[in-house]
Amino acid sequence: MKDGQTTKKPLIYYALIAIGILMLLNAFVFPMMLSSRITEVDYGTFLTWLEEGKVLEVQKEENEILFATKVEGDDSKVAIYSVVAFEDAKLVDRLLDAGVKFGQVNTSESSPLISFLLTWVLPGVFFYLLGMLLFRQMQKMNGGRNAMSFGKSNAKVYVQAETGISFSDVAGQDEAKEALMEIVDFLHNPKKYTQIGASLPKGALLVGPPGTGKTLLAKAVAGEAKVPFFSISGSEFVEMFVGMGAAKVRDLFKQASEKAPCIVFIDEIDTIGKKRDNGGFSANDEREQTLNQLLTEMDGFDGKKGVVILAATNRPESLDKALLRPGRFDRRIPVELPDLNGRIAILQVHAKKVHLADDVDFELIGRATAGTSGADLANIINEAALRAVRLGRQSVTQEDLEESIEVVMAGYQRKNAVISPKEKKIIAYHEIGHALVAARQPGAAPVHKITIVPRTSGALGYTLQVDEQESVLMTREEAFARICTLTGGRAAEETKFGSYTSGASNDIEQATKLARAMVTRLGMSDSFDMMALETVTNQYLGGDAALSCAADTASRVDEEVLALIKRAHERAKNILSREREKLDALANYLLEKETITGEQFLDMLNAPALAPQNA
């Protein structure tokens, strides 16, 4: 990589700093450390001590004399003194008289070369290595990025072999694949298109909810198109230095046009492509600069050259309008949540990696997972495989898959949660309430499983309904039936115990959401006809809605929603009091079994009336 040269530069700075520190140490600290143990005395004192016999050993150096004396009270220790050398011809005689050991230090013993190496080069090398180590560490923490390499984009060049993903790894999403295949085809034989005068769209935007395979599709394009593939994530443009984002965009496009034909993929483009606001001082000047640079670059190159820019986002509504106009990201490729066939296909793609038992029925799993994304499905397969391993099996069974749906949707079983028998009973009635109301609604999805085993998500039990087939439309009656089913849990508590618990909070939330949508968006209320009262702000991320009506209309909306929910609740209560016997029988059965299947539920429901019992 080019970055190799830039990593060397800072090391010189490290070396300079290290040398500076060494010089300071050599000049002040080391001498101080040495001298601190040596006390200086005058020549007279030295001679007096020598005569008194205190001196043990004497060493003459170039211009001072070092000598050792006994320390009073402790014979094992010696104190070292120095004295400035004095012209004293009789010194040798005096020393002989006193009978001390003496000599002259051979200064040439430690050669200047070695001492130079020891004091200067060795620590230098040490600091150099230390610096290099620290620098490596810093680079690693930056995710391989280099703070010092100004303005270089981190776009990785992918070649075909590297992603190893092809269109066959992406299941479902046939429309998206088709649109992308056209782009791949253009890059392979541009003549076919230019002959007629068609030019390739410069940019295509993959939009859809998280986990539907947008990034995967882009990687598949990289695998199929045998051209260079630059991939960068929007967040990588957000740099620690101001102005770097724009520089990166420039560099990315420069590299891309050198390598044309090629594909540039910008993942999560909403991080840089957000609408520019026009309100005075912008706190996000850096991001705007980056976006402006991107807009300029996209205009700047020739579509015929064969640089295609792919981008992915799950917040298309937040993107700047200028990004979406013709000539930029004018082609929008929706990557929606998979339908039944899509889900089955995705399950099959991912199941290729695991050993399956013979009883696996992907059709049923597909039906039970309505509303999940490709990522969820991949996760379900993996959880199932993990469960099989945990249970010491060699292959994944249908049971593993069904359990893992619940794990992905509601979390793991909380085996040792402590729930009192009384609460357990309430939960059983609650769940049977849902199931029973559902069973008595025309067109409601059949109950597949009822359980009162608590889950890590906080669910204390739940009723799983699985549709026979998937429908794209929902009638007003079906929507209302759904709300009835949701109120069924609370209604059962009331019917049995005459009071109710907090256990219905999630039901309440969902019922209100649906009732609200019926009134404000689906035109399913009596008073508002086909008037839109809410707009969805981010359809792919939860779908928050913003009211767009007058304040008193809003309060009438609330009344309407309330009336709808009340009606559903009444209906649920009516159903349950009519079926009181069945409710008791089923709840007791569930209490005993903890988990029952849809068939067991139906068998009991359709069994001839039981003898009245006092539960």
Interface positions with Zn ion (CB under 5 A)? 489, 507
Size of the residue set binding ligand ADP (CB under 6 A): 17
Cα separation, 365 vs 369, whole angstroms: 6
463 part of the interface to ligand ADP, by CB under 6 A: no
CB-based closest residue to ligand ADP: 374
Closer of 311 and 486 to ligand ADP (Cβ): 311
Residue 598 binding result from Mg ion, Zn ion, ligand ADP, none, given CB thresholds of 5 to 8 Å by partner type? none
The residue within the footprint of ligand ADP, chosen from 378, 408, 466, 561 (CB under 6 A), is 378
Which segment (74-82, 374-382, 435-443, 551-559) binds ligand ADP by CB under 6 A?
374-382
Residue 272 binding result from ligand ADP, Zn ion, Mg ion, none, given CB thresholds of 5 to 8 Å by partner type? none
Cα separation, 371 vs 541, whole angstroms: 13
Closer of 396 and 427 to ligand ADP (Cβ): 396
Cα separation, 355 vs 374, whole angstroms: 20
234 part of the interface to ligand ADP, by CB under 6 A: no
Euclidean distance between the first and final Cα of the chain, in Å? 77
Nearest residue to 426 via CA among 503, 316, 335, 541: 503
Nearest residue to 46 via CA among 64, 28, 61: 64
* Site track for ligand ADP across 269-308, x = CB under 6 A: ----------------------------------------
Active-site residues: which are they? 431
Residue 489 binding result from Zn ion, ligand ADP, Mg ion, none, given CB thresholds of 5 to 8 Å by partner type? Zn ion
Strand 101-104 to strand 55-60: parallel, antiparallel, or no bridges (unpaired)? Answer: parallel
Q: How far is the CB of 215 from Mg ion (least distance, A)?
A: 3
Footprint (CB under 6 A) of ligand ADP, residues 153-182: 170-173
- Residues engaged in binding Mg ion (CB under 5 A): 215
Residue 507 binding result from Zn ion, Mg ion, ligand ADP, none, given CB thresholds of 5 to 8 Å by partner type? Zn ion
Tell me how far CA of residue 411 lies from CA of 408, 420, 455, in angstroms: 6, 21, 6
Nearest residue to 489 via CA among 420, 410, 572, 419: 572
Per DSSP, what are the bridge partners of residue 59?
66, 103
* Site track for ligand ADP across 305-324, x = CB under 6 A: -------x------------
| Helix (H), strand (E) counts: the chain | 24, 16
Closer of 128 and 500 to Zn ion (Cβ): 500
Q: 332 near 207, Cβ under 8 Å?
A: yes
Cα separation, 587 vs 303, whole angstroms: 67
266 part of the interface to ligand ADP, by CB under 6 A: no
212 part of the interface to ligand ADP, by CB under 6 A: yes
Q: Give the E-state strand segments of 283-410 in sequence order.
A: 307-313, 331-334
Q: Which two tokens stand for residue 287?
A: 């991001």
Q: How far is the CB of 236 from Mg ion (least distance, A)?
A: 14
- Which long-range contacts does 534-542 make (Cβ < 8 Å, 24+ apart)? 537/317, 538/315, 538/317, 538/318, 539/317, 540/207, 540/208, 540/209, 540/210, 540/314, 540/315, 540/316, 541/209, 541/210, 541/314, 541/315
Cα separation, 325 vs 327, whole angstroms: 6
The residue within the footprint of ligand ADP, chosen from 214, 315, 434, 582 (CB under 6 A), is 214
374 part of the interface to ligand ADP, by CB under 6 A: yes
Q: How far is the CB of 314 from ligand ADP (least distance, A)?
A: 7
* Site track for ligand ADP across 398-417, x = CB under 6 A: --------------------
Which segment (184-192, 319-327, 370-378, 381-389) binds ligand ADP by CB under 6 A?
370-378
Q: How far is the CB of 364 from Zn ion (least distance, A)?
A: 23
Q: 193 near 186, Cβ under 8 Å?
A: yes
Q: 447 near 439, Cβ under 8 Å?
A: yes
Closer of 203 and 213 to ligand ADP (Cβ): 213
- Contact positions vs ligand ADP (CB under 6 A): 170-173, 210-216, 312, 346, 349, 374-375, 378
